[in-house]
Structure 1
Amino acid sequence: MANYTLEEKESFTVVGMGTDLKSDYNDYAGINKEKLDFWQAVKQDGRLDALKAVAANDYIFAVNEAVNQKLMHYAGVMTDATLPEATRVIQFPKGEYLVVKGEAASADALSNTLTGIAFGQVLPEAKDFAYVGGPNATVEMGQRDGQVFGEVWIPVVRK
């Protein structure tokens, strides 16, 4: 099984700007293309810079959340500030989180790799805990040696 940890986290808030993913939830190629297009847009049109300006730290969150039967994807930052153009304030609950750490050549590759490990390997094989829904996020934490490093945070409950 892939390397992972279970970590207790305090509740936190991510303010995000998002998009409604249209691809079927099993269409990984379609979902990944939609996410890539979305991230290119928020970087180019200044929305990501607006989020960074109110951030409590340097972390960039790629949040996935089901809202009203829709799969939503957000670019976000951890903050208690408000931002008029934000489309969602996402509350992450206090509790235990599955954490998978890694690095990749780009933020997109990092998100795809960590999400794949967490949902494709760790959670299907887990005997003591389970993901029961709620927002989950890939957290881009910085760069070193030409690589983007970060973690995926998925709230879990003990079985």
Structure 2
Amino acid sequence: MTNYSLEEKDSFTVLGFGTELKSDYTDYAGINKEKSDFWGAVEEDGRLDTLKAIATNDYIFAVNEAVNNKMMHYAGVMTEESLPEASRAIQFPKGEYLVVKGEEKTAEELSNKLTGVAFGEALPNATNIAYVGGPNASVVMGHRNGLVYGEMWIPVVRK
């Protein structure tokens, strides 16, 4: 069983490079392929390394956000700095977050697992909280025992 909880977080900013996801929001295979292709590109062309150089910690964020009725996906880091070539500074609000913890063999598998548990299990079964939109992120926090570990952070409100 994947572990999830509610945690209070201060506001923070994630600076990222983004892409618009064109697949229908119900086409999980299409969305996952677009995300995978995007991550391959930002790792290969050095954009992710550029972000890591100005990060305030070692966390790597995969952010999902609706912007102007478009489904956007970002590779980002927590920072107060800016880069002219970055796509967006994403503001996460102070407040309660649903936090889903897990570990997998790769960052991509971790993100997919955390997203599935958060939106397929934790939120549908929660009776006292609701996700009302805004950015959400899967966060790769490090490696241990040959696995990638991290969390999904989703801002929520009390019902």
State the TM-score, normalized to the length of structure 1. 0.99
Deviations 1:94-152 (A, max 9, x none): 00000000000000000000000000001011100000000000000000111000000
State the partner residue of 2:67: 67
- The residue number in structure 2 matching 1:101 is 101
SS of residue paired to 2:3: coil
Q: Extract unaligned runs of 5+ from structure 2.
A: none
Question: Retained in 2: the 8 A contact 1:96–1:157?
Answer: yes
* Cα RMSD (Å): 0.8
CA contact (8 A) 1:2 1:122 kept: no
Q: Give me the whole-angstrom Cα distance separating, in 2, the residues matched to 1:107 and 1:51.
A: 17
What residue is the counterpart of 1:35 in the other structure?
A: 35
CA distance in 1, matches of 2:76, 2:58: 11
Superposed displacement of residue 84, structure 1: 1.2
* Count, aligned residues: 159
The residue correspondences of 1:72-151 to structure 2 (distance < 5 A) are: 72-151=72-151
Secondary structure of the equivalent of 1:4?
strand
Q: Residue 21 of structure 1 corresponds to which residue in structure 2?
A: 21
Q: Distance in 2 between matches of 1:140 and 1:71?
A: 21
| CA distance in 2: counterparts of 1:106 and 1:99, whole angstroms | 19
Equivalent pair of 1:97/1:154 in contact (CA under 8 Å) = yes
- 1:4 aligns with 4
Deviation at 1:3, TM superposition (A): 2.6
Q: Counterpart in 1 of 2:52?
A: 52
The residue type paired with residue 157 of structure 1 is V
Q: Conserved in 2, the CA contact under 8 Å of 1:7 and 1:99? A: yes
**TM-score, normalised by the number of residues in structure 2:** 0.99
Contact in 2 for aligned 1:2/1:121 (Cα 8 Å): no
Shift of 1:2: 4.9
Q: Tell me the CA shift for residue 85 of structure 1.
A: 1.0
SS of 1:120's partner is: helix
